[in-house]
């Protein structure tokens, strides 16, 4: 048998608990190589550079032939 609550939690108690589980704003920096915004401590998605070095992790550009 699973544990069951003895009493019902009020709406205010439930909402104050859920207020602490809020989304945080994503911090962005400007890439020094291409100038696009990217997340810190992660290689740039567009050019693939991280701290001035090419990592080879860039988005593949698909061209229609």
How far is Cα of residue 16 from the mean position of the Cα atoms in its chain? Answer: 24
The pLDDT tens digits of the residues spanning 12-41 come to: 999 999 888 888 899 999 999 899 999 999
Task: Reply yes or no on whether the pLDDT at 57 is more than 70.
Answer: no
Prediction pTM value: 0.52
Q: Across all residues in the chain, what is the average pLDDT?
A: 87
Where are the chain's structural domains? 28-65
pLDDT, position 55: 84
Find the mean pLDDT for residues 5-10.
Answer: 93
Task: Give DSSP secondary structure letters for 3-65.
Answer: ---SSPPPHHHHHHHHHTSPPPPPP-EE-TTT--EE-TTS--TTT-EETTEE-S--PPPP---
Query: Which residues lie below 8 Å from residue 58, measured CB to CB, with a gap of 6+?
Result: 44, 45, 46, 47, 48
State the Cα–Cα distance between residues 40 and 29, nearest whole angstrom: 6
pLDDT over 80 (residue 54): yes
């Amino acid at each position: 048998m699973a544990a069951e609550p003895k009493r019902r939690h009020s709406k205010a108690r439930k909402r104050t608990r859920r207020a602490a589980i809020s989304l945080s704003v994503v911090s962005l920096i400007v890439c020094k190589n291409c100038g696009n915004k990217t997340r810190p401590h992660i290689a740039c998605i567009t050019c693939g550079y991280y701290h001035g070095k090419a990592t080879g992790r860039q988005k593949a550009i698909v061209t229609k032939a």
